[in-house]
């Protein structure tokens, strides 16, 4: 599903966030993306979500070249991705239900269908009783779960999460991560960027590790990256 061939991202400031990264994530696989802050995790996710474009190399999503995809096609590609942010990016001017329903409205679903699917997504994250609440009245963990419900409500085939547990306590973090694992079990491809190493080890999922823009560990690679230097 995701293929990176020697992808380099250099920002205008000259800062190189990713250097020659090659990786592959097949449909139905799940991986954690780890590394220190500034290692390039967010940049990698942003390239997949078409927020950033690679400077060099080839980044493919379902065989679509993410560097050359025309602007007008970007919305349709994003509709197959569910994105979860550390700061959950909820809209605070409308209730939980409307937040979660947004992707369906954008894609032009019928109101009855929207209601059905939105409630199903809220049920999945355990927030069905909060549909009329305003996001500001929810706790941090609840807000993050609303963000997850919004990311999965339109049944995307790929789920990207950038530090989804960054602001949460260990118990809540485990709950959130478990939701991702559950989605992966039903066939969704999942990539979660996180530096919560103890939790990741506990979950026993494949890992990819970035260090200063280089991929130094890839549990999903048949041949380990040459640049790995004895970590594991």
Judged by the rule CB under 8 A, the positions of this chain that interact with another protein are 1, 49, 51, 62, 72, 75-80, 83, 89, 91, 93, 102-103, 105-110, 113, 150, 154-155, 157
In the complex with another protein, which residue's Cβ is closer, 115 or 203? 115
C-alpha Rg value of the chain to the nearest Å: 18
Smallest separation, CB 52 to another protein (Å) = 8
**Quick check: 100 and 142 in contact, CB under 8 A?**
no
Smallest separation, CB 40 to another protein (Å) = 16
Spatial separation of the C-alpha atoms in residues 98 and 7, rounded to whole Å: 37
Smallest separation, CB 8 to another protein (Å) = 19
In the complex with another protein, which residue's Cβ is closer, 155 or 212? 155
Neighbour order of strands in the sheet with 2-10: 16-25, 2-10, 56-61, 64-65
In the complex with another protein, which residue's Cβ is closer, 106 or 197? 106
In the complex with another protein, which residue's Cβ is closer, 94 or 185? 94
In the complex with another protein, which residue's Cβ is closer, 62 or 137? 62
Smallest separation, CB 79 to another protein (Å) = 4
Smallest separation, CB 20 to another protein (Å) = 24
Give the pair of three-digit tokens for residue 23: 């990786």
What is the SS3 assignment for 158? strand
- What are the percentages of helix, strand and coil residues in the chain, rounded to 5? 35, 25, 40
Pairing of strands 214-218, 207-211: antiparallel
Spatial separation of the C-alpha atoms in residues 47 and 66, rounded to whole Å: 7
């Amino acid at each position: 599903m995701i293929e990176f061939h020697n992808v380099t991202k250099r920002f205008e400031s000259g800062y190189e966030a990713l250097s020659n990264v090659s990786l592959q994530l097949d449909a139905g696989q799940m991986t954690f993306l780890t590394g220190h802050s500034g290692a390039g995790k967010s940049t990698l996710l942003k390239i997949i979500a078409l927020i950033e474009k690679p400077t060099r190399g080839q980044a493919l999503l379902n065989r679509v070249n993410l560097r050359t995809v025309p602007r007008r096609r970007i919305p349709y590609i994003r509709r197959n991705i569910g994105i979860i942010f550390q700061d959950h990016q909820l809209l605070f001017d409308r209730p939980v239900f409307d937040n979660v329903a947004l992707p369906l409205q954008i894609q032009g679903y019928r109101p009855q269908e929207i209601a059905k699917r939105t409630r199903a997504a809220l049920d999945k994250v355990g927030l069905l009783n909060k549909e009329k609440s305003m996001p500001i009245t929810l706790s941090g963990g609840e807000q993050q779960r609303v963000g997850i419900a919004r990311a999965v409500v339109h049944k995307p085939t790929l789920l990207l999460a950038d530090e989804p547990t960054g602001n949460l306590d260990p118990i809540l973090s485990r709950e959130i991560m478990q939701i991702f694992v559950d989605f992966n079990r039903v066939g969704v491809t999942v990539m979660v960027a996180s530096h919560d190493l103890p939790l990741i080890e506990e979950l026993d999922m494949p890992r990819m590790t970035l260090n200063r823009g280089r991929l130094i560990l890839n549990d999903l690679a048949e041949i380990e990256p040459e640049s790995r230097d004895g970590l594991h």
